[in-house]
Amino acid sequence: MSIFVDENTKVIVQGLTGSQGKFHGLRNKAYGTKVVGGVTPGKGGTDVEGVPVYDSVQDAVAATGATASFIVVPPKFAPEAILEAAAAGISFIVCITEYIPAKDEAMVFNVLRRNYPGTRLLGPNCPGILSPGKCNIGITSGDIALAGGPVGIVSRSGTLTYQALNELSLKGVGQTTCVGIGGDPVPGTTFIDCLAAFEQDPETKAVLMFGEIGGSDEEKAAAFIKENVTKPVVSYIAGVTAPPGKKMGHAGAIVSGGMGTAQAKMDALAQAGVHVARNPTEAGEIMVDIVKGL
């Protein structure tokens, strides 16, 4: 199985007529994802290489029955695009847009929780979600994924998402679903959300979790794993050498005092029974050994 999306998920692309929306939307379609439409206000009635374009998400949903949306629009328009999708009944939204102000992210997060509890947002500033052989929404290359499971992947860093996939695929270990949750301060989907879904997925037998410095999400995930996850978890935390007080890459990757350091996260995860690796390759090697014993 997979989590959040599968081979039956119908996807629209908000921003399909833009250069990035077209590139990634058609790439997802070529992978086998059911990309059934695009949305660009004022361009309804046109198409992008055979994919129909609608003026609004509501129009697109009415015409196609889509339940997922891939948002590829500039930061100024992304919050409105997310809320438009939710209002139209979209239940799963992937937003890859970077540089959305944290206050706008917080507003969207709270409006979704209050008004649209049936809608899940992945991102923003994330690589998306990939269920190998079934569905790819976002910018992750399907070429480095291997279908069949038994490992689920969740990662904050886009680049490390790709490396996690590649490390396992090169070693012949398949994946059920790979989720890049993004590194911004207010993610729509958290480690805990993904860990809970993987725990309930019968085809996911183990989980590979890649985190990084900043915030306390990994520590919260460690507490959740200790109490709720019965499957083996392997983790790697990026940023061991990061100096305190420095933002490293992601908007959410800032260490303040003793909070959010790589070592603190590694210690919390180890105390929860997680297999903590020192680098991504070692994480893959540990997972291979675990899979052999399943």
**C-beta of residue 288 within 8 angstroms of C-beta of residue 294:** no
Is 250 a known active-site residue? yes
How far apart CA 133 and CA 60 sit, in angstroms, is: 25
Strand ranges (E), 125-191: 128-131, 135-138, 150-155, 174-180
Among 24, 29, 156, 250, the active-site one is 250
Cβ-count burial 102-113 (b if 16+ within 10 Å, e if not): eebbeebeeebe
**C-beta of residue 212 within 8 angstroms of C-beta of residue 185:** no
How far apart CA 271 and CA 284 sit, in angstroms, is: 20
Cβ-count burial 185-218 (b if 16+ within 10 Å, e if not): bbbbbbbbbbbebbbebeebbbbbbbbbbbbebb
How far apart CA 275 and CA 293 sit, in angstroms, is: 14
Q: Which residues are catalytic?
A: 250
